[in-house]
Structure 1
Amino acid sequence: MTILSGWSSILTAVCLTTLVTLLLQASRRKVPKCASFPPGPTRLPLLGSVHLLPQQFQERTLAEWGTKYGGIVYAKLFRTPAIVINSYKIAHDLMEKRSGNYSDRPRFILIPELLGWKNSIVHLRYGEQFRMHRKWMQDAFRSKEALDSYRSIQRREVSVFLANLLSTPEAFMTHFTQFSASIIMEIVYGHRVLNDKDKFIGIAERAGESTVTAGSPATMLVDFFPIMKLIPEWCPGGGFKTKAAVAHKYVSELYEVPYRMVREKMKSGTARPSFTSNLLERRDRVGKLTLEDEENIKAAAATVYSAGTETTATAMMTFILAMVRHPSIYSKLQDEVDRVVGLERLPDFEDRAALPYTECVIKELYRWHVPVPLGIPHNTLKSDIYGGYHIPENAMVIANIWAMSQDEDIYPNPTDFNPERYMDNAEEDPKNIVFGFGRRQCPGNELADRSIFILVTSIAATMNITKVKDTSRAEITPSLDFTSGFVSRPEAFSCEITARSDKAVRLIRQMKVATE
């Protein structure tokens, strides 16, 4: 999440002056005499603390606030009170132990209303509809029985991935995306992806790219001033609506096209079991499918598909970068996989318990560069007291996941990629941080974790990863440059990925043939 981009456009929004009176009235909040707000940065009339936030890598500025003011910080984003949490302990105390009060979302306008992500669990306010979606997700992605049933899909797709990597190693990012999308597409819609030209992958990519271009939750003025959604596109300050209209078209396509495919196959009797078909069959058993039912099922399926692809692919791109920069760690990882798995087969899920160093590498991968630095804001349902400080009702609660992952008190020398830090289990498991908190924790975290495990071990078993060389044969170490935004991934970099041996090549080809 980027809290606000282009905030200076407030000065050019013609209609903004009409909001000043309402803003001042809404900002007058009573604070109990027994408690004060947490400390925080200076606040200006109208702007609050927005003027102090850069447009890029805002998680770093929020972490600096934590260093200066403490683990819990109070700020104002225009008229919205904001609680910034930079401490894992405080996040756990509030968002886990008091999750009933911290599981709401702020009212977002841009993403659900203008871009078309309606009824998405990611943005739903806390209530009955949210609980229904959450139960659907838990049934499909939290039970051991369900997760184990997806293993055959993951095994097949890792074989496809390795064959693709063998053929075009320079396109490793594309192959990671296809791997993730293929698994989620089959689970959610029962459709098997055969290559990266699959039309459903294209639909998801267009929806995702246009959404990111249009903005992220709490990034645009319209999320703070809902009346701005009425501004015409041609009006100064209304340009965001042009991008929103483009995104809305692609998001609608994502909602409708794969859903219609499932419905048509169900009518013809050719539908394969899937998340979508299971929900439709379950609803048919209790009564007639209503328009509201359809809208909820479409939204749940589209959300799982879009969210389940990007973060896994991003984490794996970070893995490749880390291994290029730390060849000794990759060599140690390969040695452990060879010792446990051998050279006659690919790693499997049952091997995980016997691979402690591999487990540490995956934990460090999650921590070293978190894919979603600021998550998505929560919202308080009622006022609260914590550590003697007053937390107001309807406050935006921002968990700075990046700051927690870089906490030197928990992870000494946090910029180092050091799997050994977990060998004695002395430090906090980053999986408790990177997937969110409380009832808003990512419901697909276990599936994503299993996919990352099978990818990491299969790559280690079959591939070497080395630095490219320049014209003078000197090795080029890729830089530690990452994109800023809701999802942060490494900037494009080069490396050499080659098969470890002829035996590895034969094994990959044999496994690929066996899955066809």
Structure 2
Amino acid sequence: MFYIQGLKLPPGPPRHFLTGNLRDIPLSSSKPWETYDQWKKRFGDLVYLNICGKSLLVVNSRHLVSELFNARGSIYSERFQSTMACDLYDVRGGFDWSLVLMSPNETWRHHRAILQQHLGRTSMVQHQVTLEKHSMTLLALLFHKPFGFLGHTRHAIGAMILESTYGLSIQAENDPNVEVAERAMELLTDMLTPVKYIPSWSPGTTFKQKASELKIYSLAMKNEPFAAVKAALKAGNASPSFVSTLLEAQASASDSDNGGKEKIDDELIKSIGATIYLAGIDTTEVAVQVFFLAMILYPNTQRAAQEELEKVIGSNSFPTFKDRPNLPYINALCNEVLRWHPVVPFGLPHVLKQDDVIDGYFVPKGTLVMGFTWSLLHSEEVYGSDSDVFNPDRFLKEGVKDPDPAFGYGRRICPGRYMADNMLFIIVASVLYTFNIKPDGTNLPSLDGFMPGFIS
């Protein structure tokens, strides 16, 4: 350990000459979060790594996450703004329009304000009929072809987001908008995985090739659905949606004085629409996969949820959002899905804007600072000694913290979290009310089937 400004760097695994901790990173592990969790137990709430000259700080406590990303958010909210050792700037070349990767400037604040206005908890009520409609379509697909449940849930989630965001219908199979978004997310996920913060010249990397492909898909996702909505508005047959509402507000503002408010132009609407679609489709799909897995592995939990649904809803209807206040166990089950296997186990790293001191340790400017979501949501202090077990009952106890870290931190917490929460609830409630979920044969699936990554 060495000293800077009279202070030590935070503790972490010993570093090797030139490559730092590159050899320690679990590149080939199917559960890389286990290695990071072991480091937490060994080194504590702060774990410092250096990968080929690039600093990475892993934060393992809610207290410190809140302190850094909320109280000190002005210096811990940066994204990949400058060229770094890993050439991450190339990623932003295709996604500089996305709120997820945008630096916290005036444009970012304007985007975020609009998203919070239209995707807040109360605003989501207007989208609930659409979500209920597509949950019923999902039930029909599952009834006719139960073994295609992964494809059916992908179709339903894509339909929910496409109609809510753009007012567009989805094709029964191979919808181009869904395929473009999924490929873009696959490429982005691959390059934002924390274990891959290594130089593009390292053997076996294909960073620049993937960045070029990503740019093509990201621009298609941004432009093509937007063009369809604009054409429908011109033809007078556009369905109500997030994007159509913004386009109508844009037209209204152009006809009158907007009171000095920042202009809502086409580029802003394209970017916000694509951000909603990008952030929602893949993450919600993985959460639903976790739900199916948990119901197979924990049949007693499934029966308890079904008993509540039968008691509250009866036999002559299907679950709706009006039933939600009377379904505490279903709500707890949804929270446990988010906690048990978080969709983004490592969180998306923030970049420290200036040198800082944390708990007496020096942290240099430019450090990637990562709230370790997996660790926070498996904390025995918060969730008990059985934190590796899927148990919704933990959320029925007074004072247990919600799985908020699943949606990010501080000023960069996901603005679409209420939409994701709504989609997960209606899918979980509808499927459990209608079907029993059982394994195909005697072999049980496991969490080993999840691939490591930014989204896992």
1:373-403 Cα shifts (integer Å, max 9, x gaps):
1121011223333322233332210111111
Which position in structure 2 is the counterpart of 1:109?
89
Is 1:136 the counterpart of 2:114? The answer is yes
Displacement of 1:251: 2.2
SS at match of 1:76: strand
For residues 112 and 477 of structure 1, what CA distance do their matches in structure 2 show? 40
Matches within 5 A, 1:374-393: 374-393=346-365
Structure 2 residue aligned with 1:328, among 300, 303, 308?
A: 300
1:25-59 Cα shifts (integer Å, max 9, x gaps):
xxxx99333x4322222223432222211213432
SS at match of 1:193: coil
Is 1:127 the counterpart of 2:102? The answer is no
Displacement of 1:63: 1.8
Which position in structure 1 is the counterpart of 2:57?
83
Matching residue's letter, 2:134: E
Distance 1:209 1:70, change over 3 A: closer
Q: TM-score, normalised by structure 2?
A: 0.89
1:202-236 Cα shifts (integer Å, max 9, x gaps):
332333344445x2266656xx76xx6xx9xxx98
For residues 5 and 246 of structure 2, what CA distance do their matches in structure 1 show? 47
For residues 206 and 409 of structure 2, what CA distance do their matches in structure 1 show? 34
Which position in structure 2 is the counterpart of 1:485?
453
1:431-470 Cα shifts (integer Å, max 9, x gaps):
x21111111111111111111111111112111112333x
Which position in structure 1 is the counterpart of 2:259?
none
Which position in structure 1 is the counterpart of 2:420?
448
Displacement of 1:404: 1.4
Distance 1:210 1:378, change over 3 A: closer
Distance 1:216 1:346, change over 3 A: same
Matching residue's letter, 2:129: S
Distance 1:386 1:301, change over 3 A: same
Displacement of 1:298: 2.0
Displacement of 1:367: 1.1
Which position in structure 1 is the counterpart of 2:210?
243
Which position in structure 2 is the counterpart of 1:216?
192
Which position in structure 1 is the counterpart of 2:131?
154
Which position in structure 2 is the counterpart of 1:406?
378
Displacement of 1:97: 2.9
Distance 1:82 1:467, change over 3 A: closer
Check conservation: 1:319, 1:365, Cα contact below 8 A: yes
Distance 1:331 1:275, change over 3 A: same
For residues 268 and 168 of structure 1, what CA distance do their matches in structure 2 show? 37
CA RMSD of the aligned region, Å? 2.6
Matching residue's letter, 2:269: I
Which position in structure 1 is the counterpart of 2:237?
270
For residues 203 and 451 of structure 2, what CA distance do their matches in structure 1 show? 29
For residues 238 and 202 of structure 1, what CA distance do their matches in structure 2 show? 24
Which position in structure 2 is the counterpart of 1:416?
389
Distance 1:79 1:284, change over 3 A: farther
Matching residue's letter, 2:59: I
For residues 210 and 55 of structure 2, what CA distance do their matches in structure 1 show? 28
For residues 257 and 420 of structure 1, what CA distance do their matches in structure 2 show? 44
Which position in structure 2 is the counterpart of 1:24?
none
Check conservation: 2:356, 2:365, Cα contact below 8 A: yes
SS at match of 2:380: coil
Structure 1 residue aligned with 2:42, among 60, 68, 89?
A: 68
Check conservation: 1:39, 1:74, Cα contact below 8 A: yes
Displacement of 1:243: 2.9
SS at match of 1:425: coil
Which position in structure 2 is the counterpart of 1:339?
311
Check conservation: 1:162, 1:459, Cα contact below 8 A: yes
SS at match of 1:102: coil
Which position in structure 2 is the counterpart of 1:507?
none
1:63-118 Cα shifts (integer Å, max 9, x gaps):
222111111122222222222112222212221232222211133323221xx222
For residues 294 and 422 of structure 1, what CA distance do their matches in structure 2 show? 43
SS at match of 2:57: strand
Which position in structure 1 is the counterpart of 2:178?
201
Q: TM-score, normalised by structure 1?
A: 0.79
Matching residue's letter, 1:134: R
Which position in structure 2 is the counterpart of 1:514?
none
Distance 1:189 1:370, change over 3 A: same
For residues 339 and 320 of structure 2, what CA distance do their matches in structure 1 show? 24
Distance 1:79 1:190, change over 3 A: same
> Structure 1: any 5+ residue segments left out of the alignment?
1-28, 470-474, 489-516
1:283-318 Cα shifts (integer Å, max 9, x gaps):
344459x99943333222212112211111111111
Which position in structure 1 is the counterpart of 2:8?
36
> Structure 2: any 5+ residue segments left out of the alignment?
82-87, 256-261
- Give % identity: 32
